[in-house]
Structure 1
């Protein structure tokens, strides 16, 4: 094992990389707002197409392109990755649509709910046992959602879709033998023919961004591949060097930034019923995080690293 000083240095770099990835994810509303004139379906197609080229280039540079063949080794793996790709596409589409229709606060709610939904699905689908604090956290989040349903004039369907698709996607990823980078590449590869066909169909009808919009929109559309893949690469690098509890704390940076951007920058309304619901959900998240921290400390009573 490396000496404690080296492990501390690696952990600090891990915090910078993983924290940077959540920071970038939290700032993404600024990026998608620049493309607000482009339909969300077209944006997601651009995101799929250009991120695939970038991901394939990274895998080629790493010499790991051959590892993609494992995803197509059996019908079960193909079905698993196809379902994961559909959930990912639904999540991306819902998120971009929500941001560009002035629902950033609601998108942040979806990602605040995701960890608790993930725990609940783990209990129902994977028969994982929940600790007492996890039960309390889920109950508080449920009360928060109930307040939203009772007091608002519409169900927060964007938040529900984001939390649901992301949580089920996480469950499928637990069953996948592929790493995060290879898994995303396979999922994007499965969606690529449909995304490319849609963009070509738009071009044939003299529609779409390319050839019909300012040069800046062309650059931003192509850049959607980078803003998809770069945070993931940063997260994968950082996660390998951090404890699970540290990652659990850092993951709330993204939705917190989204919430603040929606509230303070784009001045989206936040009524008293929404605020009370958020308080219940945040309280649940605090308990969930505390439970993860205490469980991690119990498993590692004498850690060497500072993070």
Structure 2
């Protein structure tokens, strides 16, 4: 008795599903090798299913790749998306709780190159991948590295979305706000966002001018007098750092403070802005709104820019 056309189609579908499951299983079983930002080659027997992240931007990257379910622990500062706030917290990058991390039996720990946890975890036999993005190019590269570790194909789709959304934010900035000279304070110190940082690169794409040149590095610690001499048109700062700005030597004379050209970001927005990861597009939109609402007129901004280095 010959099979009917419908039965043949069902057989073909069943075979294709079986092959798909087989290929997925083989992919899961394949070893993973990645070179991290320390220049170390890390080999994992298979894509990790239990991950601890000690850097908020890496936590957010894992979730942006739809792999939040693999996280079993995070640092105390990781707070997005909401689902990860229910995970065990294992300290921070500078003060990790090694015992708590090991107790979670992670297949791999993702952390910053500056973290103090790497050496001790590796001594205890825990796989470590250190990644630390500081520029747009770094964010794109780290997305690829995390996708490689997780075995996620086309991780760069996230970067394409970020890039397109940052460009859209740039288009929303009114011409009158372009050329505005900006000081962006990352945190007290004061530490600023230099032109070579991902924040500085976003400001450039939005048409603003950063008072901190690339030669100072991504996030330099500044002498407060540097900002006084630069006298920016607009200051961007998080609510956690705004207290006492006018008490810094000479800062009461800054035109941006006298004329209330100051954007103070609430903690949830500040977190978005200072994390080099998948929410950079949202950060660009926040900065674009600041430029549109607080910048002086284009003529004045361009005139002041023309007479300053």
Q: TM-score by structure 2 length? A: 0.24
Pick the structure with greater CA Rg: 2
User: Which structure features the higher share of helix residues?
Assistant: 1
User: Which structure features the higher share of strand residues?
Assistant: 2
